């Protein structure tokens, strides 16, 4: 198989924290999207999926199939299950069967026989939470019935290549973008230790991102030579070895492998995964689109020059300092960073259905998500449109037809413009 054919077959897996994000994950280039179901996902703060949303997902999935663009739905059941949670899952399994799930992502092997019996047509994917980073473990999971391993993020490209060589029948999925944990693939105890909220039960408070101050033993911590005090928790001391002033001592850099997809392909990656079910719709769309364009450029569908502006948009999403994780060297992964995830743009809203065309002017439903004022410079972005600037638009009240001076979330609005837009375009504006 040629390099082009290999890269074309690499699956892009995007995050979806709710139904709306799932729509944009697929629309902006994801071949597959992974979701969580209430109470059984390591992202309990994500909206996740419930009630009758399976109907909308089925309809959307069928629509893509009719267009010749099939999409996969992956379901993350990646918590560590206690006995009572196994019983809860069994009680709700009939409901889960209503979703068009292609594969379950699990770390707890206790679920394997349950899923194989209850969902025989769904594939089993091993979660990165299982920390699978060697060929012997991959062989074991293959014998258990897993068809894909989401490789532990601590694996290097060399590790991945050896796993693929020794277990060629197992699909390997590798993280390429998003937040990294200071602990083994999310098995962190810092949050539980400091706040009583366990990362392994889906309730991580991201304590590794907080700011800490180093104190010597004379600051009421005789059990250790040094201790740390968190900036917002004065008077609570935790032992540590070294550091200086307030700093994010455990805050890892964000992973970004956009420039090294060919290296991942050569190592044997079958699927590329983006982290971020708790991230915004804007983040989901732009990051997914960037990796889609990069893959398409490597496979010859578009040129590198055509892909470049879309890839550059990664820097217009909220992110920390980028790194390449453990793929090339653990030295980069072991360097911490600080600061919040910030971006230069604010998402103003999304474009809904086209309502009317009068000459050169078009009217669209505008679903506002943040307040904007009339005349404020806007940009429209789509799956294949990097950015269309606009200052000549008009905001209209859909009930009266009168011009609006401003609009914000919860206010129905029509956007009139001479720009040709489409449903699910994103509207953004520069932060002031």
Q: pLDDT of 292-305, one tens digit each?
A: 999 999 999 999 99
> Which residues lie closer than 8 Å to 67 by C-beta, 6 or more apart?
none
**Does residue 320 sit in helix, strand or coil?**
coil
Tell me the CATH class for 345-430: mainly beta
Domain coordinates in residue numbering, the chain: 11-180+252-334, 211-248, 345-430
What kind of fold does domain 11-180+252-334 have according to CATH? TIM Barrel (3.20.20)
Least confident of 88-92, 372-376, 397-401: 88-92
pLDDT band for 231, please (50, 70, 90 cuts).
confident
CA–CA separation, 396 vs 381, rounded Å? Answer: 21
**Spatial strand order in the sheet of 226-230:** 238-240, 226-230, 212-216, 246-247
Phi, psi at residue 245, to the nearest 5°?
55, -165
Residue 403: what are its φ and ψ, rounded to 5°? Answer: -70, 145
Q: Phi then psi for 310, rounded to 5 degrees?
A: -70, -40
The phi, psi pair for 315, rounded to 5°, reads: -80, -5
Nearest C-alpha neighbor of 175 from the set 383, 14, 8? 14
pLDDT in tens, 88-98: 999 989 989 99
pLDDT greater than 80 at residue 7? no
Tokens of 210: 């907080």
- Contact yes or no for 118/93 (Cβ under 8 A): yes
Q: Please give the average per-residue pLDDT across 345-360, as a whole number.
A: 96
Contacts 24+ apart (CB under 8 A), 375-380: 376/429, 377/429, 377/430, 378/348, 378/427, 378/428, 378/429, 379/345, 379/427, 379/428, 379/429, 380/351, 380/419, 380/421, 380/425, 380/426, 380/427
Taking the model in full, what pTM does it have? 0.86
- Residue 181 has a CB neighbour count (10 Å cut-off) of 19
Q: Which of 145, 251, 173 is nearest to 13 (CA)?
A: 173
- Range name among 11-15, 201-205, 237-241 with the lowest pLDDT average: 237-241
Q: Say how far apart CA 241 and CA 16 lie, in whole Å.
A: 39
């Amino acid at each position: 198989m040629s390099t082009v054919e290999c890269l074309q077959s690499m699956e892009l897996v995007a995050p979806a924290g709710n139904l709306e994000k799932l729509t944009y994950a697929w629309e902006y280039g994801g071949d597959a999207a992974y979701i969580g179901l209430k109470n059984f996902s390591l992202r309990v703060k994500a909206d996740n999926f419930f009630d009758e949303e399976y109907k909308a997902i089925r309809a959307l999935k069928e629509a893509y199939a009719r267009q010749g663009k099939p999409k996969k739905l992956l379901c993350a059941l990646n918590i560590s299950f206690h006995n009572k949670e196994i019983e809860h899952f069994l009680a709700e399994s009939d409901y889960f069967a209503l979703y068009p799930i292609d594969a379950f992502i699990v770390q707890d092997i206790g679920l394997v026989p349950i899923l194989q019996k209850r969902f025989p047509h769904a594939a089993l994917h091993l979660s990165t939470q299982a920390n699978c980073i060697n060929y012997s473990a991959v062989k074991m999971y293959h014998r258990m019935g897993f068809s894909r391993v989401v490789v532990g993020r601590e694996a290097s490209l060399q590790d991945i290549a050896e796993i693929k060589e020794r277990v060629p029948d197992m699909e390997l999925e590798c993280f390429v973008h998003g937040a990294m944990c200071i602990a083994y693939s999310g098995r962190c105890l810092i949050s539980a230790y400091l706040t009583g909220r366990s990362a392994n039960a889906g309730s991580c408070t991201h304590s590794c991102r907080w700011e800490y101050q180093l104190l010597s033993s004379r600051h009421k911590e005789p059990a250790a030579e040094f201790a740390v005090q968190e900036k917002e928790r004065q008077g609570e001391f935790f032992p540590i070895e070294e550091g200086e002033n307030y700093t994010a001592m455990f805050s890892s850099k964000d992973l970004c492998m956009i420039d090294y997809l060919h290296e991942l392909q050569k190592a044997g990656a079958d699927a590329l995964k983006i982290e971020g079910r708790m991230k915004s719709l804007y983040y989901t769309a732009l990051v997914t689109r960037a990796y889609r364009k990069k893959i398409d450029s490597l496979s010859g569908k578009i040129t590198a020059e055509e892909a470049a502006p879309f890839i550059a948009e990664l820097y217009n999403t909220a992110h920390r300092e980028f790194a390449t994780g453990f793929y090339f060297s653990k030295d980069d992964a072991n360097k911490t960073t600080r600061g919040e995830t910030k971006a230069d743009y604010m998402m103003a809203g999304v474009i809904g259905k086209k309502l009317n065309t009068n000459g050169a002017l078009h009217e669209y439903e505008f679903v506002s998500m943040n307040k904007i004022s009339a005349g404020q410079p806007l940009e429209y972005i789509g799956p294949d449109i990097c950015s269309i600037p606009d200052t000549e638009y008009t905001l209209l009240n859909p009930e009266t037809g009168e011009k609006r001076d401003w609009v914000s979330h919860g206010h129905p609005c029509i956007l009139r413009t001479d720009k040709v837009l489409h449903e699910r375009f994103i509207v953004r504006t520069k932060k002031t």
